[in-house]
Amino acid sequence: MSKLQGKVAVVTGASKGIGASIAEHLAAAGAAVVVNYASSKAGADAVVSRITALGGRATAVQADVSKPEDIARLFAATLTAYGRLDILVNNAGIYEFAPLEAVTAEHFHKQFNLNVLGLLLTTQEAVKHLGADGGSVINISSIVGPMPVPTGSVYSATKAAVDALTVALAGELGPRKIRVNSLNPGMVETEGLHAVGFAEGEFRKMIEAKTPLGRIAQPADIARAAVFLASDDAGWVTGQTMLLAGGQRQ
């Protein structure tokens, strides 16, 4: 039997990249998946099509998870479609880099409102719908949380905050059998990485040279760890931040 058979998962920001791969891997493990997207309906529909073509269950739901009213609608749609909730993957997020002299209030709030506040409010709403058996909350953080990078002060701070929230919420929600963990990927080859020009060239080579396994990650590398944390295999795992960076330590 598939390890997530009968479970229902919501994956935010799942129209592409890491989120899309997580949605597809959760579905392959037996979960019914709500593929959340903010703006890319075509991308989300493509993820749903790939899942259903393999016999899985999935539906796409639009919601901007930096907005409380959209968050409520996301989970209402989940319950309408599948009648329950077991797994939340907080993947939606943005990143912008700027040197100190270019940091503005808008730059700060744009990232914190989605990466931190949105994650917190999404979790707040999700736990209302997790049953007596509890569930699993998986936060997608980043290697830059524990290892901040120059010109990434605000983005790094959002991910450090995600890791802190993960530990705090694990302690708070543990008595309700709700496990909370975070995944901290290093460089992952996604559409976003190509869009900012980091997928090729010297920066990628530098990261690969510092990585014992000698390559950057593919989205599936992160997705397989998410399936583990979502499943009963991780039933004794909570409050953990798992570094997924091929051994990179700096």
For residue 107, give the amino acid letter.
H
Q: Is the pLDDT of residue 250 over 90?
A: no
Question: How many Å apart are CA 147 and CA 162, to the nearest integer?
Answer: 14
Could you tell me the pLDDT band of residue 200, with boundaries at 50, 70 and 90? confident
Check residue 139 and give its pLDDT. Answer: 98
CATH of domain 8-190+218-242: 3.40.50.720
Question: How many Å apart are CA 168 and CA 148, to the nearest integer?
Answer: 21
Phi, psi (rounded to 5 degrees) for 178 = -105, 120
* Mean pLDDT calculated for residue range 215-233: 96
Check residue 137 and give its pLDDT. Answer: 98
Check residue 191 and give its pLDDT. Answer: 77
* Mean pLDDT calculated for residue range 157-170: 98
Whether 155 is catalytic: yes
Check residue 197 and give its pLDDT. Answer: 67
Catalytic residue among 37, 82, 95, 155: 155
pTM of the predicted structure, to 2 decimals: 0.95
pLDDT higher at 214 or 53: 53
Could you tell me the pLDDT band of residue 175, with boundaries at 50, 70 and 90? very high
Q: Is the pLDDT of residue 92 over 70?
A: yes
